[in-house]
Amino acid sequence: MFVVGRNFLIVAFIFLTVGSAWAQQDPQFSMYMYNNLYNNPSYAGVEGVSKLSAFYRSQWLGYTPTFDEGGAPQSMLVSLDMPLFKLRSGAGLIVVKDEIANWNTLQVKALYSYHLAVGEAKLSFGLGAGIYSQTIDYDQYRPIDNNDPLLGEGRESQVRPDFSAGVFYRAEKYYIQLAVNHIVESEFDFGRDSVRNALENHLVFGGGYSYELNYDVTLKPAVLIRSDFNTYTFDLGMIAYYKEKFWGGASFRQGESVSAIIGYSFLKEKNLNLGYSLDYIISAQAAKSPTSHEIMLTYSLPVTGGAGKKIIRTPRFRH
């Protein structure tokens, strides 16, 4: 187990020490360690419980645009996943809305994963299929040339297919994941042949580890690396848990921000979780606002025994 964890750290270090900053196309969430389903379809059902999650992110809060229209980016995500024990599988659904000034995107994707037992660990393979929609509000542009043929009027939208695939390996104390999103590089031209804005293939690689410092305190470092096969960006984080009820830590996003993360688990089974992240912008502050804010709420449905078998849950990677 130690050898696998050490190799993972070596691979992560190589990724972090070569390359450059990566331009954002999909929304990024600071509490990514609680959001594996968004990045990887193979995570569907891995936790062994049905789970509903919601994230809201207000980036660069207080940013004031030059004109009245537009504003700072806002991202919203709702996801649901559940195990399908009889099929040794999992299923899920994600809905993501991203607003950046006059440019809005909407992703809706159904997910399926197949689970294999590998000793005491679990290996899952997943696929995602759905739609990706882009909307432009041309009325918010301030063109130099009002007769520019690329300009439209009002709001225009286009919908294209979207697919993803991934693999997720989860052991008792660590996990490793790899996924590719936007496998089909769908193009959005809004009826203008000279405009072809295509989705880029996105590679996601990451992992986490659970280390019991003592009976009450557990440390969980995590890393997430994203790449468009030309450049990359990475997140590094560490969360400390006290009696699996109170948790807090910090995260760093390359070329963007540092984050403070806190959370609390409610109810007897700790299946209702509320988290908050405060990001402090460390790059290009002159063009942004200094802080971003993110809220997370998750609820795991109570587990009921089936087929006469008692289900034993582990809290290590359930949040």
d(CA 39, CA 29): 10
When pLDDT is cut at 50, 70 and 90, the band that residue 6 belongs to is very low
User: Which pLDDT score is estimated for 145?
Assistant: 66
> Using an 8 Å Cβ cutoff, are 194 and 185 in contact?
no
Domains along the chain with CATH numbers: 2-300 (2.40.160.40)
Digit-coded pLDDT (tens) for 132-158? 998 887 666 666 666 666 666 667 788
User: Which pLDDT score is estimated for 21?
Assistant: 40
User: Which pLDDT score is estimated for 19?
Assistant: 39
d(CA 265, CA 131): 33
Digit-coded pLDDT (tens) for 225-252? 999 888 889 999 999 999 989 999 999 9
- The one-character DSSP state at 184 is S
Residue percentage of the chain with pLDDT more than 70: 74
> Using an 8 Å Cβ cutoff, are 66 and 60 in contact?
no
Which carries the bigger pLDDT value, residue 117 or residue 188?
A: 117
User: Which pLDDT score is estimated for 288?
Assistant: 64
Most confidently modeled of 61-65, 133-137, 234-238, 308-312? 234-238
114, burial (CB in 10 Å: exposed 0-12, middle 13-18, buried 19+) = middle
